Amino acid sequence: NKELLSVENLKQYFPIKGGIFGRTVNNVKAVDDVSFTVYEGETVSIVGESGCGKSTTGRAILRLDTPTSGKVEFDGVDLVSLNKKQMRKMRKDMQIIFQDPYASLNPRQTVRQILNEAMEIQNVVPKSDRDDRIAELMKTVGLQPFQADRFPHEFSGGQRQRIGIARALSVDPKLIICDEAVSALDVSIQAQVLNLLQRFQREMNLTYLFISHDLGVVRHISDRIIVMYLGKIVEIGDKESIFENPQHPYTKALLSAIPVPDPEIKKERILLQGDIPSPIDPPTGCRFHTRCPFATDKCKEELPVLESLSHMTEGHEAACHYAKEIETGEHKPTKDIT
Ligand code: SF4
Ligand code: MG
């Protein structure tokens, strides 16, 4: 498949200013040297605990924040070089759906006005056709056309998320970034919205970058998964590889935390201990070493790079000095793991 989005060495530092001259005294390294590719028509999820940099990555791709450095290429265009006006045009092809649609829907506008405005800004549908388009969009997301004349507060949470989706779809995008898009919804509503998103993907050849802390949701929707920890990618691979053959101790710990449906399946359990360290002054070497049961002195000093080892499937990469040795049992935990 065609490469749609490519992120290269992306860094997003937020300066912390201090002193009487307001100089930058330190940086929050929210995203620190992240690279990955998304192909047309696939769903790539970014998972990790809050503060790992997953939302910041999404915002940097859309240039809602300007990246500190690195390259973001979308459909062959280098986004970082675009000015505001050029970037606004690009947003026709790159939409975002947030966790809380209520916060992103103007409470004083009816749904019709909201959808109209989105189409107006991108100049996608002629004015005379917009009412038809709005009726069609409403039906597409499972709402009634007459409901377009209501205000956001007149809808339930799940319905509001459908309106957020309708707005994203109204401009006929290629990529939709879903940032915790179903996290606030009840489980049954979650499933409905996820199924809707999957249907649109097939019918409209959409590509999703799905940002979530919820591995159950990610398992449902993804083709490939990126695991982030403290601003860095620690593991990337096909969904099956990540779930069935996780390589990085952090990924194993995240997976340990979700219940196993079949009690016969014995999983290696790794409990995540302690809090995520501050991204202002992240741990040296492997950033996970302060919480990793397998950490050694080498982990404190040397930063592990993403690599694919012979026992891993193609495209599966992990950043751990001992991925292989943990797999074979040659490297044992140095701390209690359960
Ligand atoms: Fe743990 Fe060391 Fe691997 Fe990091 S490099 S995940 S600290 S064993
Ligand atoms: Mg977030």
What does 101-165 look like in DSSP terms, one character per residue?
HHHHS-TTS-HHHHHHHHHHHHT-S-GGGHHHHHHHHHHHTT--GGGGGS-GGGS-HHHHHHHHH
**Four-residue CA torsion sign, 280, 286, 289, 291:** positive
Could you tell me if residue 232 is inside a domain? Answer: no
Could you tell me if residue 105 is inside a domain? Answer: no
Q: 286 C-alpha to center of ligand 1: Å?
A: 6
Could you tell me if residue 308 is inside a domain? Answer: yes
Q: Which residue has the tokens 């007459």?
A: 146
Q: Which residue type, as a one-letter code, is found at position 138? A: M
Confidence check: pLDDT of 264 > 60? no
Atom of ligand 1 nearest to the CA of 286: 4
Q: For residues 143 and 3, what is the distance between their CA atoms, to the nearest angstrom? A: 34
Model ipTM value: 0.95
Report residue 254: phi and psi, to 5°: -60, -45
In the structure, ligand 2 is a single-atom ion and the residues with CB under 5 Å from it are 55
Confidence check: pLDDT of 267 > 70? no
For residue 222, give both structure tokens.
């993804």
Atom of ligand 1 nearest to the CA of 298: 2
4 CB-side CA count, 13 A: 22
82 CB-side CA count, 13 A: 21
Is residue 320 in contact with ligand 1, taking CB distance under 6 Å?
A: yes
Is residue 249 in contact with ligand 1, taking CB distance under 6 Å?
A: yes
What does 228-270 look like in DSSP terms, one character per residue?
EETTEEEEEEEHHHHHHS--SHHHHHHHHTSPPS-TTSPPPP-
Encode pLDDT of 290-309 as tens digits: 999 999 999 999 999 999 99
Is the CB of residue 19 less than 8 Å from the CB of residue 57?
no
Could you tell me if residue 270 is inside a domain? Answer: yes
Residue 22: band (very low, low, confident or very high) from pLDDT cuts 50, 70, 90: confident
Atom of ligand 1 nearest to the CA of 323: 3
Q: For residues 292 and 304, what is the distance between their CA atoms, to the nearest angstrom? A: 13
Could you tell me if residue 272 is inside a domain? Answer: yes
Report residue 233: phi and psi, to 5°: -80, 125
Encode pLDDT of 190-236 as tens digits: 999 999 999 999 999 999 999 999 999 999 999 999 999 999 999 99
Q: What is the 3-state secondary structure (H, E, C) of 266-315?
A: CCCCCCCCCCCCCCCCCCCCCCCCCCCCCCCHHHHHCCCCCECCCCCCCC
Could you tell me if residue 283 is inside a domain? Answer: yes
Atom of ligand 1 nearest to the CA of 250: 6
Provide the residue range defining the domain that includes 304: 248-328
Q: Nearest ligand to the C-alpha of residue 55?
A: 2
Q: For residues 183 and 194, what is the distance between their CA atoms, to the nearest angstrom? A: 11
Is residue 13 in contact with ligand 1, taking CB distance under 6 Å?
A: no
> How many domains is the chain built from?
1
Q: Which residue type, as a one-letter code, is found at position 42? A: E
Phi-psi region of 304 (alpha: psi -120 to 50; beta: other; left: phi over 0): beta
In terms of DSSP H, where are the helices of 151-238?
A: 157-170, 187-204, 215-221
Q: For residues 123 and 121, what is the distance between their CA atoms, to the nearest angstrom? A: 6
Is the CB of residue 290 less than 8 Å from the CB of residue 247?
no
Encode pLDDT of 100-159 as tens digits: 777 889 999 999 999 999 999 888 999 999 999 999 999 999 999 999 999 999 999 889
pLDDT of residue 35: 98
Q: 279 C-alpha to center of ligand 1: Å?
A: 18
Atom of ligand 1 nearest to the CA of 287: 4
Q: 203 C-alpha to center of ligand 1: Å?
A: 42
Is residue 294 in contact with ligand 1, taking CB distance under 6 Å?
A: yes
Q: 328 C-alpha to center of ligand 2: Å?
A: 35
Look at the pTM and tell me if it is higher than 0.90: yes
Encode pLDDT of 28-44 as tens digits: 999 999 999 999 999 99
Residues with Cβ < 8 Å from 274, sequence gap 6 or more?
A: 290, 291
Look at ligand 1, atom 6, and give the residue with the nearest C-alpha: 320
First to last CA, the chain: 42
Is residue 246 in contact with ligand 1, taking CB distance under 6 Å?
A: no
Is residue 289 in contact with ligand 1, taking CB distance under 6 Å?
A: yes
Could you tell me if residue 1 is inside a domain? Answer: no
Could you tell me if residue 15 is inside a domain? Answer: no
